[in-house]
Structure 1
Amino acid sequence: MDSHTGDKTMENNDWHPADIIAGLRKKGTSLAAVSRSAGLSSSTLANALLRPWPKGEKLIADALSISPEIIWPSRYFDSEGKLLARQIRSGRTNK
């Protein structure tokens, strides 16, 4: 079973972190390079591999030319397959 197809008739499984890293390598980049190009520390995007972080997920997905919900369906869909409400927070402001 290929969990990377995004087919809603199949069981939705998140990609393994090694598959994400391999996908980035196939695109000629790395997690650290994507992180640095977004103005982040080279290790910051690794957080999105381990826990929900919409901004990081979007950066990784964009580098792979796919939608984040394809990579992490458990973070975007409930047990019935309905889309969960998620937001990317804007940058912090100092008052």
Structure 2
Amino acid sequence: MNHNYVQKNDWHQADIIAALRKRGTTLAAVSREAGLSSSTLANTLSRPWPKGEWIIANYLGIHPSEIWPSRYFDMNGQLIERKARNQTEIIFTKS
């Protein structure tokens, strides 16, 4: 057991939205670009949904565990493997 592990906090919803805005987009636009309804990705902000987490994280160029460590690490700091069902690589192009 790793007693030195310090649990990181999940990003605040406003920080996720701000990170997307800094990249020149919105959560609704990323959702539509992924072929979803404009409000679908908002579900990811309040409850676990691996597919949505990966879409947002890929757009930001990071692993979802950086945004939601509580969803990806156990109490000992070990990475929990979480994948979206039928996960395909999602690549966004910037216009």
1:86 aligned residue: 82
Partner AA of 1:75 in structure 2: R
1:38 aligned residue: 34
- Superposition RMSD in Å: 1.7
Larger RCO: Structure 1 or Structure 2 (Cα < 8 Å, ≥ 6 residues apart)? 2
2:14 aligned residue: 18
- SS of 2:71's equivalent in the other structure is helix
CA displacement at 1:69 relative to structure 2: 0.4
The runs of 5 or more residues in structure 2 that have no matched partner are 88-95
- SS of 1:49's equivalent in the other structure is helix
Q: With structure 1 as the length reference, what TM-score do the two structures score?
A: 0.82
Percent of counterpart pairs with the same letter? 66
Partner AA of 2:60 in structure 1: L
- State whether residues 10 and 69 of structure 2, in contact with CA within 8 Å, keep that contact through their aligned partners in structure 1: yes
Q: With structure 2 as the length reference, what TM-score do the two structures score?
A: 0.82
CA displacement at 1:63 relative to structure 2: 1.2
Provide the rounded CA distance (Å) in 2 between the counterparts of 1:43 and 1:16.
18
Provide the rounded CA distance (Å) in 1 between the counterparts of 2:53 and 2:39.
14
- State whether residues 7 and 77 of structure 2, in contact with CA within 8 Å, keep that contact through their aligned partners in structure 1: no
CA displacement at 1:64 relative to structure 2: 1.0
